[in-house]
Structure 1
Amino acid sequence: MSRMIVPWATAVVLAVIGVVEIVLDSGFSAAPAAPASALAAVVVGAVLAAWFPVAGSAVVALAFPIAVAGGLNGPTGAAVFGFFLAPGWAGYRRAAPSWPAPLAAQLMASLGTWIAGRAAGSTVAGLGAMAWENLFFGVLCWGAWGVGLLARRLRDRAELMARLAQAVEAEREAREAAVVAEERQRIARDMHDAVAHSISVMVLQLGAVRATLPAGTPQADMLLGVERLGRESVQELRALVGVLREPVSAPQPSLARTQDLVDDVRSAGLPVDLTVDGDLTAVPRAVDINAYRVLQEALTNVLKHAGPVPTTVKVGVSATGTTITVENEPGGAAAEPSGERGAVAGHGLAGMRERVAVFGGTVAANPTGDGGFAVHAVFPARGGQR
């Protein structure tokens, strides 16, 4: 899109400059044909450069000989601006060799100075002026072209570095996933080979001891219960081993999945009003995971302790950090005192505070004035994006 916008915007600016120049310059306004013709070449060339940078540069450079042939002493101001902008644009935009653009401008400058020299007469002073004009405009067009090439190379290098950074990040994530999968396999093997095996042996030994006792005695019944519990534990361990050996395919925790999380709790009966302020994909990865977990824990606590009551969720991402706010209306049970909510189910608030404290943030969890409850977590910005 910039390929079209930049030349067109330049054409408009140069047209305005050229018109103002013709109106304000008494020499131009008295005989506007030559400056107007030169301006037309500049504007047409600038627009043409949107599709053909080299051809557009050559058309812009035509303004020089057109102006001199029309009786002017040299190119107009708009023509001078276009003279160095057009080769620079060609150097920046054209992937193929773009040196014909400054070469065409150099040739047009030579033609213009030759026309001016013939009009002034072939004197020593005239030849010196021609040589100087040729050198001046030559340096101008070739220098602008060189700046355009440099800008193009810097842009290409920046794009290459961005692609390399993405590739490195993808490789790092793949390596981390492989390490996690390997660790899951190791844990599964340990649980299967050591824990499950040991419990199975214990269950067999308990069965052997129970067989030596008279049936129906309290001791036999107690051992039978322990034996049954041991078998259930072995079954649960085997199920857990199966889960650990499966590849990790579930979506990873991320604030970008906030809407999915809200949809899940809505389907569970919790009416949630969600507000998102900022770009959720711009949160640093470590903060992203922990902020999602805090939001998940807060919504779970609402369901557990207040029931399906209207709840407001606000997620904000800005230059100062990431904020999570979950506020619910009064539920069937009274709101717990600050710091106690979620304690029954794994110390939920304590876990939130630990997650946020790692990043130097804060968590405020307090009853609201109307009997509801509000959790507000702040992850301060530490710099660095995803």
Structure 2
Amino acid sequence: MHRPNVAAVLAAALALIGTAEILLDAQFSAAPATPAAALAAVAGGMLLGAWRPITGAAVVSLAFPISVVGGLDGPTGAAVLGFFVAPGWAGYRKAQASWPAPLAVQLMASLGTWVAGRAAGSSVAGLGSQAWENLFFGLLCWGAWGVGLLARRLRERADLLARLNTALDAEREAREHAAVAEERRRIARDMHDAVAHSISVMVLQLGAVRSTLAAGTAQAEMMEGIERLGRESVHELRALVGILRDAEATGPAPQPTLGRAAELVAEVRAAGLPIELTVDGELGGIPRPQDISAYRVLQEALSNVLRHAGPAPTTVYLRREPGRVSVLVDNEAQNPAGGTAGASPGGHGLIGMRERVAAFSGTLSAGPRPGGFTVQAVFPLGTESGAWKAVAA
């Protein structure tokens, strides 16, 4: 709660307590002017303390002399509570620099007891009573101030611990990213040493065999094709190795999530696909495994549209319902060949989508419709599978 709001609540509480005291106490209800004036000082000072804690405490302390000058034997109950709350609030807000707040309350309490003692006449018993009241109100206001200081220190320590925890989280993420980058480099070295080297040797051997064959024969042409394919494979493997080695330079990629569906749609639209996105329900708070897999299904379905249907008008519909989230991609057949996103129903794209959905006991329907193709995946929420990490990567 914002600090001015806290002070306003405290002022309102003291006002209600003081009002009830005036109404229920026979002495106060018979002559309410003085207790009402004291209550006004308490509530008004507490409200002022929202912005000026020390000044507010000083105003609250005026309730004691107001009470005794007005004919009361001592401060009202609401005033006593105010003498506790106001210095405590000042200590919480201003820490050690707020010591004038309890000092003002103690001085006004001493003034009030002195005025009350003068009115009652000087006596040994009266002097003892004044000494006790000074001690009581001193302990009350300075003790409350100490409680406020302690509460402030605990709050500052909690804030410091929260900042340290955030810094530790950031450091842990950095270390995890460094570990991932090192693993990428290790995989790149292994791929280069084991795979690319072996294929390169095979290509050289094929070239040596081809050189022994007569030029223009079917065997020579076949060997030349295999040799060319091998060189292309080596080139692709080296490109992949470069990606793995350089991935850490670009920093961690944004996490796949349906919350980034609009960004994905914008990227596909920029590639020339006329596409519309409709979201029904709140996409936040989806369990991370289902969220990642649903995003990957959407990504693969849109890739299929670009690959098989070309710039076909496409509709993406994401729906969050109690207990499940669904992804629907529907496209028209607009490419010159008349293809659709499902032109290769046996391709790895649909197989991958089925695996992702099956990992959560969901359903996937993918097939042609008149003039187009529709893919719909439904992920139950709250269902986890040990295979999700494999299919969500």
Structure 1 length normalisation: TM-score? 0.80
Deviation of 1:18 after TM superposition, in Å, equals 3.7
CA contact 1:295–1:324 (8 Å) conserved in 2: no
Distance 1:177 1:13 in 2: 52
CA contact 1:45–1:55 (8 Å) conserved in 2: yes
Match of 2:280 among 275, 281, 304: 275
Structure 1 counterpart of 2:201: 201
Distance 2:174 2:60 in 1: 52
Distance 2:217 2:383 in 1: 66
Deviation of 1:71 after TM superposition, in Å, equals 0.9
Structure 2 length normalisation: TM-score? 0.78
CA contact 1:343–1:349 (8 Å) conserved in 2: no
Aligned length in residues: 364
Gapped regions of structure 1 (runs ≥ 5): none
Cα deviation code 1:247-269 (max 9, x no counterpart): 24463224342331343355533
Structure 2 counterpart of 1:105: 105
SS at structure 1 position matched to 2:98:
coil
Distance 2:80 2:116 in 1: 16
Distance 2:237 2:341 in 1: 37
Q: Assess, with a 3 A threshold, how the Cα gap between structure 1 residues 161 and 250 changes in structure 2: closer, same or farther.
A: closer
Distance 1:331 1:144 in 2: 74
Distance 1:45 1:342 in 2: 78
Distance 1:195 1:126 in 2: 102
Gapped regions of structure 2 (runs ≥ 5): 334-338, 385-393
| Letter matched to residue 251 of structure 1 | A
Structure 1 counterpart of 2:336: none
Q: Assess, with a 3 A threshold, how the Cα gap between structure 1 residues 151 and 168 changes in structure 2: closer, same or farther.
A: same
Structure 2 counterpart of 1:150: 150
Deviation of 1:233 after TM superposition, in Å, equals 0.8
Structure 1 counterpart of 2:188: 188
Distance 1:254 1:344 in 2: 20
Distance 1:342 1:335 in 2: 12
Q: Assess, with a 3 A threshold, how the Cα gap between structure 1 residues 125 and 152 changes in structure 2: closer, same or farther.
A: same
Deviation of 1:376 after TM superposition, in Å, equals 2.3
Distance 1:257 1:334 in 2: 25
Distance 2:303 2:243 in 1: 27
Deviates more, 1:19-28 or 1:112-121: 19-28
Structure 1 counterpart of 2:351: 347
Distance 1:201 1:254 in 2: 39
Q: Assess, with a 3 A threshold, how the Cα gap between structure 1 residues 258 and 91 changes in structure 2: closer, same or farther.
A: farther
Structure 1 counterpart of 2:39: 39
Q: Assess, with a 3 A threshold, how the Cα gap between structure 1 residues 343 and 128 changes in structure 2: closer, same or farther.
A: farther
SS at structure 2 position matched to 1:94:
helix
Establish whether residue 312 from structure 1 lines up as the match of residue 317 from structure 2.
yes
Establish whether residue 83 from structure 1 lines up as the match of residue 87 from structure 2.
no
CA contact 2:65–2:108 (8 Å) conserved in 1: yes
Deviates more, 1:134-143 or 1:65-74: 134-143
Structure 1 counterpart of 2:325: 324
Distance 1:314 1:241 in 2: 39
Distance 2:11 2:231 in 1: 83
SS at structure 2 position matched to 1:274:
strand
Deviation of 1:228 after TM superposition, in Å, equals 0.6
Percent of paired sites with the same residue: 55
Structure 2 counterpart of 1:364: 363
CA contact 1:35–1:67 (8 Å) conserved in 2: yes
Match of 1:380 among 379, 382, 391: 382
Q: Assess, with a 3 A threshold, how the Cα gap between structure 1 residues 351 and 264 changes in structure 2: closer, same or farther.
A: farther
CA contact 1:113–1:133 (8 Å) conserved in 2: yes
Deviation of 1:60 after TM superposition, in Å, equals 0.8
Q: Assess, with a 3 A threshold, how the Cα gap between structure 1 residues 380 and 124 changes in structure 2: closer, same or farther.
A: farther
